[in-house]
Amino acid sequence: MTGTTAIRAFYSRRAALYDLIATAPGTGRWRRAAARRVAGRGATVVEMGCGTGANLPYLREAVGPEGRVLGVDITGPLLGYARERAGRYDNVGVLRADARRPPLEGADAVLGTFVCGLFSDPAAVVGRWCDLLKPGGRIGLLDASVSTAIAGRPLNPLFRAFVAAGSPTRGAGDVLAALCGAGDATLSRRIDAAREALTNRTRDRRYESFGLGFVGLSTGTIGGGAE
């Protein structure tokens, strides 16, 4: 199977479990923060790789009834959950499409949540997201990686095992290796590349961490590189 086909098949089989994880207690704080950092009242915001739509209510809250929210994902069963959430509002919709090459343009804001680690070339993907934004548009990336915080570092082996268990291309042996200290170099490299691409294309940047340092939120405004 190709990478995209493997990802679609993996998450299709685990849609219900993924939705439980995506809406677990405590995650709402991160999601609301991400929505508020990228989207203002009346904005048109696109969420790339929206999954089951856990962010959609928070994005709708941020843009208000006069704004517009669109969730994009390639996996039908995940979008089934997202479509149900979107159906509560008349200004929220979902689209089955590849977030790597979204068939869109002219948005005010883009948000990618726990998705950049799936891309083989995340910098190029983030660059495309920036290209579809209007001047002054906002972009945000919410991703998870190993923690450098004192409180989080002892839990890094468990985090690595969780990542291995949730990867479309890894198996039980990888989970055990992660518990024994094997690194997650690919995930870290991809997330770093995505964040660097955001940094290179934006101004007014901000970085925040949540969940003992495992979750990071990078945001910026289109128009200018490093300051």
pLDDT in tens, the chain (227 residues): 446 787 888 788 888 988 999 999 999 999 999 999 999 999 999 999 999 999 999 999 999 999 999 999 999 999 999 999 999 999 999 999 999 999 998 999 999 999 999 999 999 999 999 999 999 999 999 999 989 999 998 998 888 777 767 666 665 565 565 556 655 678 889 999 999 999 999 999 999 999 999 999 999 999 854 44
> How many other β-carbons are positioned within 10 Å of the β-carbon of residue 82?
27
Position 75 in a domain: yes
Tell me the H-state helices in the chain.
3-13, 15-22, 27-38, 56-63, 76-86, 122-131, 156-165, 172-179, 185-201
* pLDDT given for residue 98 in this prediction: 95
Q: In what order do the strands lie in the sheet with 133-144?
A: 92-96, 68-73, 44-48, 107-113, 133-144, 215-222, 202-210
* pLDDT given for residue 1 in this prediction: 42
Residue found by looking up tokens 């001047």 in the block: 135
* pLDDT given for residue 225 in this prediction: 45
Position 25 in a domain: yes
Residue-range definition of the domain harbouring residue 199: 3-145+184-222
Position 178 in a domain: no
Give me the half-sphere count of Cα atoms (radius 13 Å) on the Cβ side of residue 25.
0
Pair 206, 37: CB distance under 8 Å: yes
* pLDDT given for residue 166 in this prediction: 65
* pLDDT given for residue 179 in this prediction: 58
* pLDDT given for residue 227 in this prediction: 44
* pLDDT given for residue 226 in this prediction: 44
Position 168 in a domain: no
* pLDDT given for residue 101 in this prediction: 94
Position 56 in a domain: yes
Position 174 in a domain: no
**What CATH number should be reported for the domain holding residue 118?**
3.40.50.150
* pLDDT given for residue 132 in this prediction: 95
* pLDDT given for residue 202 in this prediction: 97
In the structure encoding, which two tokens stand for residue 217, read together?
């939120």
**Ramachandran quadrant class, 223 (left: phi over 0; alpha: psi -120 to 50; beta: rest):** left
Position 138 in a domain: yes
* pLDDT given for residue 173 in this prediction: 62
Structural domains in the chain (count) = 1
Pair 205, 218: CB distance under 8 Å: yes
